[in-house]
Amino acid sequence: MDALVWSTVYISEAFKKKNIFYKRFGPLLNALRKAFYTQGREAMNYWDYFIEEQALIDATRDKEVDQAFDILGKLVSMQASLLSYLTLVLLRSGTLRLDVLRGELGRRGLDSDSWLLDEKRMHVVAAQFNKHFPYLRSRGLTSLASRLSEDTLAVNEVSVFRPTLATIHQSYEEIRSAVRQECPERELLEGERFRYSWRFERARPRSEPYQPGLFPVQLL
């Protein structure tokens, strides 16, 4: 349960940051400027000379960065669909209770009916996951190979449940590999905090191998 909940938390944070810093950056920047301007001349001068003139908040778009964010965004969307699919499998097989899941998510301020269980038809969630394959593979992410079944599955039967979990686990490993390809880990220099670089940057390899994180299906 903890792994499922924390996976939901991390993916929700990714969606939130994409919305704030990418999709709504312009409107939010204008709202921030307006907030400074309504506080009088001193605040207005601070914004003009110490923020805008120093380019502390730069709205300039870069084609290569846009493309990198687009790829990473699709990978996050695939991970979200995969987690939704896994959650539906666990619910329909009786392995997980909906009230327990809602209670755990609610304690962290999350709503299970937002994106996690917004779509309750497994074949639709599978189609949402599978639709990204052609584009991402064309961008060189050939580790992505395992598609989710878009058929109606009787996941309450052991003969169906276990192979379905195996496919979900393999899909997770493939997405993890694709993310590492797009954002390789590197050694941190003094004063740095961000361990990952874009694929088009010159990555500094780490001295230790990457230790994979825990995805819910690994607990089953």
pLDDT score, position 129: 95
- What is the C-alpha to C-alpha distance for residues 125 and 73, in angstroms, rounded to an integer? 17
Type and span of the H or E element at 100: helix 98-106
pLDDT score, position 201: 47
Please, are residues 172 and 215 in contact by the beta-carbon 8 Å criterion?
Answer: yes
- What is the C-alpha to C-alpha distance for residues 215 and 166, in angstroms, rounded to an integer? 12
List the structure tokens of 23: 């999709």
Q: How deeply is 40 buried, as exposed, middle or buried, from its count of CB atoms within 10 A (0-12, 13-18, 19+)?
A: exposed
pLDDT score, position 25: 83
- What is the C-alpha to C-alpha distance for residues 126 and 132, in angstroms, rounded to an integer? 11
Give pLDDT tens digits along the chain (220 positions).
Answer: 888 888 888 899 888 888 887 778 888 889 999 999 999 999 999 999 888 888 778 777 778 878 888 898 999 999 999 999 999 999 989 999 999 998 988 888 888 778 888 888 889 999 999 999 999 999 899 889 999 998 877 877 888 888 999 999 999 999 999 988 887 776 666 666 555 555 544 444 444 443 444 455 444 4
Please, are residues 153 and 126 in contact by the beta-carbon 8 Å criterion?
Answer: no
**Residues forming a β-bridge with 196:** 185
Nearby residues of 132 by Cβ (< 8 Å), 6 or more positions away: 74, 75, 77, 78
CA proximity to 56, closest of 43, 64, 46: 46
The pTM assigned to this predicted structure is 0.76
